[in-house]
Structure 1
Amino acid sequence: MITVVMFYMLINLQQILHTLKEKSSEEEFQISFVCHRPEGLEILEEQTKFSKTELQFLYRAFKNECPSGVVDEDVFKLIYSQFFPQGDSSNYAHFLFEAFDTNKNGCLSFQEFVAGLSLILRGSMYDRLNWAFHFYDHDKDGFITKEEMLNIMKSIYEMMGKYVSPPIQDDIPREHVDRFFQKMDRNRDGVVTIEEFIESCQKDENIMRSMRLFDSVF
C-alpha cells in the first residue's frame, strides 16, 4: 500500500514538473529571473540538494504559476484537479499541502516547496521514508493510526475516480489498511511508530523500488 501512495505521488510530481517545464523556455527564464530573484538563494542551495541552476528554474516556474510567491490550499487543490479530472483530488491535495506547509500558516512558500521536493527527490532513503511517515501521521503525534491511514487511502481512491475498471469496492481501502497494519504493526498495539515503519519499508523490495523511482523525476 505504501507503493500505491508513492506511485501516485510520483505521478503528481512528474506532471507538475513537466507542466512547469513546458511553461518556461530558457530564454524567458534568463530574462525574467532577474526580476524574480528569491532572497537567500545561496542559503537554499546549502539547505537543499538542488543546484543553483535548478533552484533558479524552479523559482521562475513557481512565480509563473504563483505571482504572489505563495500558494494557498485552494490554489493547490485547483492545480491537482487539472491532473485528475476523472476523480476528486481535493482530499489528497489537502494531505499533501499540509505535508509541504511545514510552518502551518496556510500558505506554501517557495522555500517550503523546494525543501519538500529536495527531501522526496534527492534525499537519502531514510529521508524519504521519514517524510512518508510524517505524511501519514496527520496529527503529528508520532504514530500512524488506522484512521489516519484509511483517510489517505480513501483520498487516493477518490482521486482515481468512480470510473476505474474494474470498479473499486467500498471495502477495498480498509482492506489495504488492514494489510498495512498486519505487516508493520510489529507489537500489535494498534499504531505504527516511525521505527516500525522505516524498518518494515526497508525490508520490502517493492517499496524500495518505488522510492528509487523518484531519482529520475527531475
Structure 2
Amino acid sequence: MGIQGMELCAIAVVIVLFVAVLKQFGILEPMSMEDSSDSDLELSTVRHQPEGLEQLQAVTKFTKKELQSLYRGFKNECPSGLVDEETFKLIYSQFFPQGDATMYAHFLFNAFDQERSGAIRFEDFVIGLSILLRGTVHEKLKWAFNLYDINKDGYITKEEMLAIMKSIYDMMGRYTYPMLRDDAPIEHVERFFQKMDRNHDGVVTIDEFLETCQKDENIMRSMQLFENVI
C-alpha cells in the first residue's frame, strides 16, 4: 500500500486502515438475514452492557439493524464488551505483521477513548465509527484533528504530526515500493505545515486545519470513500 501524499490526506489513511482492520476481523460484515431481526442487543454474555439501541441511534447515524450487526461483530472480537489498549495493539500487529503498529494503535486508541478510561466501550467505538463513515466533512475533520492533537491542547505541533507520521511509516513502510527514505516523515510534516500553518506561527489550529482541508479536492474526495461500507 503506497502512502505518498499523506501530509494532505492522512485523514483518508486513518479511515482506510481502520476500515480495513475492521473488515479483516469481521466487525464490519454485510448484514445477514439474522441481522434483519428487530431483537434488542444481546447483553447476557458481556460484562459491560452498552446503552440501548434507541440511545445509540440518537447519537449515531446508524439504523437499529446496523447497530445490531456492528454489535455482533464487536462482541465476537471483544466478548467482555471492552477493548483495552493492549488488545487494540494486538489486533493491529496481527494485521501488519511485518511492521510495528504499536504507536499507531496507541494514537488511534486514544482518539476513540474520549473519556481516558483506558478501555473502548461499544458506545465509544460506534460513535467514532459513525463519524468516520457517516459524519459530515466538518465532523470527520474535527475527529482527525483530535487524533493529531496528541496532548489535546487545541494545537497540532510539528512534533505531534511527526509522531503520527512516523507511526504510520513504522506500520506501513515495508509495504511500499520503492522503499521510503528515513527522512520521508520529516518531509511530509514540513509540507503539511507549509499548507496548514496559515499564519506561520509554528502550530496548526482547528480553524486552520478545517479551512485548508476543505479547500483541498483530494481530502474532500477522501471524505466520501467509505460512507456505504455497511
| Shared fold (TM-score, shorter chain, > 0.5) | yes
Is 2:77 the counterpart of 1:65? Answer: yes
- Compute the displacement of 1:156 (Å): 0.5
Unaligned runs of 5+ in 1: none
Distance in 2 separating the partners of 1:65 and 1:29: 21
Superposed CA offset, 1:68-115 (max 9, x none): 100000001111112212211111010000000011010000000001
- Compute the displacement of 1:3 (Å): 1.1
More helix by share: 1
| 1:183 counterpart (191, 195, 206) | 195
State the SS of the aligned residue for 1:71. strand
State the SS of the aligned residue for 1:147. helix
Alignment coverage as a number of residue pairs = 218
Whether the 8 Å contact between 1:88 and 1:161 is mirrored in structure 2 is no
Superposed CA offset, 1:4-52 (max 9, x none): 452353233134135225698544896x976437442210111111000
Whether the 8 Å contact between 1:183 and 1:200 is mirrored in structure 2 is yes
Residue matched to 1:95? 107
State the SS of the aligned residue for 2:226. helix
Unaligned runs of 5+ in 2: 1-6, 45-49
Closer/same/farther in 2, CA of residues 29 and 97 from structure 1, 3 Å limit: farther
Deviates more, 1:208-217 or 1:186-195: 208-217
Is 2:181 the counterpart of 1:174? Answer: no
TM-score by length of 2: 0.87
| 1:111 counterpart (117, 123, 126) | 123
Whether the 8 Å contact between 1:86 and 1:161 is mirrored in structure 2 is no
Q: CA RMSD in A?
A: 2.3
Is 2:23 the counterpart of 1:17? Answer: yes
Residue matched to 1:158? 170
Whether the 8 Å contact between 2:51 and 2:123 is mirrored in structure 1 is no
* Identity value in percent: 59
Whether the 8 Å contact between 1:36 and 1:63 is mirrored in structure 2 is no
Is 2:141 the counterpart of 1:134? Answer: no
Whether the 8 Å contact between 2:11 and 2:144 is mirrored in structure 1 is no
4+ long deviations beyond 6 Å: none
Whether the 8 Å contact between 1:59 and 1:110 is mirrored in structure 2 is yes
